[in-house]
Amino acid sequence: MVASYVFRLASFPVHLALGSRVVVQPEFRGTLDWYRDYGTRHASDGVEGRLVSLHTFDAPWQSWEMHPLGDELVVCVSGSIVLHQEIDGAVRSATLGPGDAIVNPAGVWHTADVDAPATAFFVTAGAGTEIRAR
């Protein structure tokens, strides 16, 4: 579905599809099933498709995640986010404020902490994403 109307990105993420198309997704439920269904809907785009989303966090992430098939762009929109990346067996941390960005390279495990509500914009190569306990 192509949207020619205003929608809330936090509620309805979009998929950047092949052919330079933007496809609004069903309402985000925050569940692993939602992500699984997203992957099924856009499997034919392979590693070139991207999930664009906006999330507000009020607590540290409860898990680590890793995107094996592509980089992820993270942009802090409001608040402060401490992003942790596990690179070559060491954890590196970076603090992001409004307007700051960082790239989670393909294959790098990452998680985040917040002390107060913070919002981030994500452009994610979601195919094959893995999650592990923190």
Give all domains of the chain, ordered by start, each with its CATH number: 14-133 (2.60.120.10)
Look over the chain and give the mean of its residue pLDDT values, rounded to a whole number: 94
Q: Is the pTM of this model over 0.85?
A: yes
Q: What is the pLDDT of residue 30?
A: 85
User: Which of the two residues, 46 and 1, has the higher pLDDT score?
Assistant: 46
Identify the burial level of 99 via C-beta atoms within 10 angstroms of its C-beta, where 0-12 means exposed, 13-18 middle and 19 or more buried: exposed
Q: Rounded to 5 degrees, what angle do the CA atoms 50, 20, 31 make?
A: 25
pLDDT digits (tens, 9 = 90+) for 25-62: 999 998 889 988 999 999 999 889 999 999 999 999 99
